[in-house]
Structure 1
Amino acid sequence: MARPQKPRIVSDELPASYFKPQGIPLVSLSEIVLTLDGYEALRLVDVEGLDQQEAARRMNVSRSTLSRILAEARRTAATALTRGLALRIEGGAVTRPRDGGCGHRPKDSFEDGDMPNNSFEGPDRS
């Protein structure tokens, strides 16, 4: 039996929970899921330009775990782009900083079980 995942700190709010190719109705598309921790890893490393050690520290994971999360997130995003799939962002073992900040606070400043509100509005499939 695998051990439970340690919650990863995700500090950025999503601008959208779905991305899709333009001009194709969502109901006609297959979708692929990018986890919230994958989204955060992409944001920290590829958008913010942090090195993996600093990104791992902000997410409260080891550098090797960050590397695995990042590789999977990149594979998921590339698959969505190259195959014309809808990309849905949700799920994963994540928590948010208690103050809603950027994850710079020490580990003991987060409440146990502090989980994000994963109730994203679903796509309009009409």
Structure 2
Amino acid sequence: MARPQKPRVVSDDVPASYFKPQGIPLVTLREVVLTRDGCEALRLVDAEGFDQQEAARRMGVSRSTLSRILAEARRTTATAISRGLALRVEGGAITRPRGADCGHRPAGLHTDDSSEGDAQTVDNKGPDRP
């Protein structure tokens, strides 16, 4: 049995939960899932320019764990872009830093471990989609 994931500190909310190719209706697209901790790793390292050691410290994980999260996030993002898939941001074993104001959530810790860990491709045409 696998050990449960340690929650990763995610301080930024993503402004949108879906990113998709322009001009194609979402209901016709397949999608890949980027976890929120993966999105945070991309933000810290690639957008903010932190080195992996500092990004790992900010997320509360080891540098090698951050490296694995980052590699999977980059692979998921590259897959979405290169194959014209929708990118859905959700899930992951995350926690919010104390005192963070996340808008609709109360300050303090928030854990969401709804992700299964690996990126997955999902067919948007299902019972919950028109």
Shorter-chain TM-score above 0.5: yes
Q: Does 2:39 match 1:51? A: no
Q: Does 2:76 match 1:63? A: no
Helix, strand or coil at the partner of 1:70: helix
Q: Does 2:75 match 1:79? A: no
Helix, strand or coil at the partner of 1:87: strand
| RMSD of equivalent CA atoms | 1.9
Helix, strand or coil at the partner of 1:49: coil
Deviations 1:65-85 (A, max 9, x none): 000000000000000000000
Q: TM-score if structure 2 supplies the norm length?
A: 0.79
Task: For residue 54 of structure 1, report the CA deviation from its aligned partner.
Answer: 0.1
Q: TM-score if structure 1 supplies the norm length?
A: 0.82
Q: Which residue of 2 aligns with 1:115?
A: 111
Q: Distance in 1 between matches of 2:111 and 2:92?
A: 11
Amino acid aligned to 2:2: A
Task: For residue 13 of structure 1, report the CA deviation from its aligned partner.
Answer: 1.2
- Aligned ranges 1:87-106 → 2 under 5 Å: 87-100=87-100
Helix, strand or coil at the partner of 1:11: coil
Gaps of 5+ in 2: 102-107, 115-128
Gaps of 5+ in 1: 102-109, 119-124
Q: Distance in 2 between matches of 1:85 and 1:100?
A: 32
Helix, strand or coil at the partner of 1:92: coil
Amino acid aligned to 1:77: T
Deviations 1:68-124 (A, max 9, x none): 0000000000000000000000000000012117xxxxxxxx75xx326x9xxxxxx
Q: Which residue of 1 aligns with 2:120?
A: none
Q: Distance in 2 between matches of 1:24 and 1:13?
A: 25
